[in-house]
Amino acid sequence: MQTRAILAQNLAALMQHRNEGQNSLKRRSGVSQATIGRILGQKSDADIGTITALAKALDVMPWQMLVPQLDPKNLPVIKMTDEERKLYDRLHALASQIVKP
Protein backbone atom coordinates (compact mmCIF):
# COMPACT_ATOMS: atom_id res chain seq x y z
CA MET A 1 0.00 0.00 0.00
CA GLN A 2 1.32 3.45 -0.89
CA THR A 3 2.00 6.05 1.77
CA ARG A 4 -0.64 8.33 0.23
CA ALA A 5 -3.28 5.61 0.69
CA ILE A 6 -2.16 4.85 4.26
CA LEU A 7 -2.37 8.51 5.24
CA ALA A 8 -5.80 8.90 3.63
CA GLN A 9 -7.13 5.78 5.34
CA ASN A 10 -5.74 6.77 8.74
CA LEU A 11 -6.92 10.37 8.49
CA ALA A 12 -10.44 9.18 7.66
CA ALA A 13 -10.41 6.64 10.52
CA LEU A 14 -9.15 9.20 13.06
CA MET A 15 -11.69 11.79 11.92
CA GLN A 16 -14.51 9.26 12.20
CA HIS A 17 -13.32 8.01 15.60
CA ARG A 18 -13.21 11.59 16.94
CA ASN A 19 -16.40 12.62 15.13
CA GLU A 20 -14.38 15.34 13.38
CA GLY A 21 -15.51 16.83 10.07
CA GLN A 22 -13.26 18.48 7.50
CA ASN A 23 -14.37 21.98 8.45
CA SER A 24 -13.76 21.40 12.16
CA LEU A 25 -10.38 19.81 11.44
CA LYS A 26 -9.50 22.80 9.25
CA ARG A 27 -10.13 25.18 12.15
CA ARG A 28 -8.24 23.08 14.69
CA SER A 29 -5.25 22.23 12.49
CA GLY A 30 -4.84 25.30 10.29
CA VAL A 31 -4.75 23.01 7.23
CA SER A 32 -7.10 24.13 4.47
CA GLN A 33 -10.23 22.12 3.81
CA ALA A 34 -9.09 21.74 0.19
CA THR A 35 -5.83 20.13 1.35
CA ILE A 36 -7.66 17.83 3.75
CA GLY A 37 -9.96 16.80 0.90
CA ARG A 38 -7.02 16.13 -1.43
CA ILE A 39 -5.33 13.99 1.23
CA LEU A 40 -8.53 12.03 1.88
CA GLY A 41 -9.02 11.58 -1.88
CA GLN A 42 -5.38 10.52 -2.33
CA LYS A 43 -4.93 13.34 -4.84
CA SER A 44 -1.76 14.82 -3.31
CA ASP A 45 1.10 14.08 -0.99
CA ALA A 46 1.27 15.80 2.38
CA ASP A 47 4.44 17.41 3.67
CA ILE A 48 5.69 16.83 7.20
CA GLY A 49 4.29 20.17 8.40
CA THR A 50 0.80 19.25 7.21
CA ILE A 51 0.99 15.78 8.76
CA THR A 52 2.22 17.30 12.03
CA ALA A 53 -0.58 19.89 12.12
CA LEU A 54 -3.23 17.26 11.43
CA ALA A 55 -1.75 14.86 13.98
CA LYS A 56 -1.69 17.55 16.67
CA ALA A 57 -5.32 18.46 15.98
CA LEU A 58 -6.28 14.77 16.17
CA ASP A 59 -4.22 14.21 19.33
CA VAL A 60 -1.82 11.66 17.86
CA MET A 61 1.88 11.64 17.01
CA PRO A 62 2.79 12.40 13.37
CA TRP A 63 4.37 8.99 12.85
CA GLN A 64 1.14 7.31 13.94
CA MET A 65 -0.60 8.86 10.93
CA LEU A 66 1.60 6.67 8.69
CA VAL A 67 1.14 3.30 10.40
CA PRO A 68 -0.61 0.86 8.04
CA GLN A 69 -4.08 -0.21 9.20
CA LEU A 70 -4.08 2.16 12.17
CA ASP A 71 -6.70 1.35 14.80
CA PRO A 72 -7.75 4.66 16.40
CA LYS A 73 -9.02 2.76 19.45
CA ASN A 74 -5.65 1.08 19.96
CA LEU A 75 -2.89 3.46 18.85
CA PRO A 76 0.61 2.02 18.58
CA VAL A 77 3.28 3.24 20.97
CA ILE A 78 7.04 3.07 20.95
CA LYS A 79 8.20 1.35 24.08
CA MET A 80 11.31 2.55 25.86
CA THR A 81 14.16 0.22 26.65
CA ASP A 82 15.12 -0.16 30.31
CA GLU A 83 18.09 2.13 29.72
CA GLU A 84 15.89 4.81 28.11
CA ARG A 85 13.36 4.53 30.97
CA LYS A 86 16.11 5.06 33.57
CA LEU A 87 17.42 8.09 31.69
CA TYR A 88 13.90 9.51 31.35
CA ASP A 89 13.24 9.02 35.07
CA ARG A 90 16.52 10.77 35.97
CA LEU A 91 15.79 13.70 33.65
CA HIS A 92 12.24 13.96 34.95
CA ALA A 93 13.48 14.03 38.55
CA LEU A 94 16.02 16.74 37.71
CA ALA A 95 13.43 18.81 35.86
CA SER A 96 11.08 18.50 38.83
CA GLN A 97 13.76 19.99 41.07
CA ILE A 98 14.31 22.90 38.70
CA VAL A 99 10.67 23.66 37.96
CA LYS A 100 8.66 23.64 41.14
CA PRO A 101 4.86 24.00 40.90
The answer to whether 55 and 61 have CB atoms below 8 angstroms apart is yes
Secondary structure letter of residue 74 according to DSSP: S
**What's the pLDDT at 93?**
87
Let me know if residue 99 belongs to a domain.
no
Let me know if residue 94 belongs to a domain.
no
Angle between helix 22-29 and helix 33-40 axes, rounded to 10 deg: 120
Let me know if residue 16 belongs to a domain.
yes
Secondary structure letter of residue 81 according to DSSP: P
Let me know if residue 82 belongs to a domain.
no
Q: What is the pLDDT along the chain (101 residues), one digit of tens a residue?
A: 799 999 999 999 999 999 999 999 999 999 999 999 999 999 999 999 999 999 999 999 999 999 999 999 999 988 889 898 899 888 988 888 887 65
Q: Which domain holds residue 22?
A: 3-67
Q: What is the pTM of this model?
A: 0.78
Let me know if residue 21 belongs to a domain.
yes
Q: How far apart are CA 89 and CA 73, in angstroms?
A: 28
Which CATH number characterizes residue 53's domain?
Answer: 1.10.260.40
Let me know if residue 90 belongs to a domain.
no
Classify the C-alpha dihedral 8-56-25-71 as positive or negative. Answer: positive
**What's the pLDDT at 101?**
57
Let me know if residue 85 belongs to a domain.
no
Let me know if residue 59 belongs to a domain.
yes
For 81: left if phi > 0, alpha if psi spans -120 to 50, otherwise beta; the answer is beta
DSSP string over 1-40: --HHHHHHHHHHHHHHHTT--HHHHHHHH---HHHHHHHH
Domain count, the chain: 1
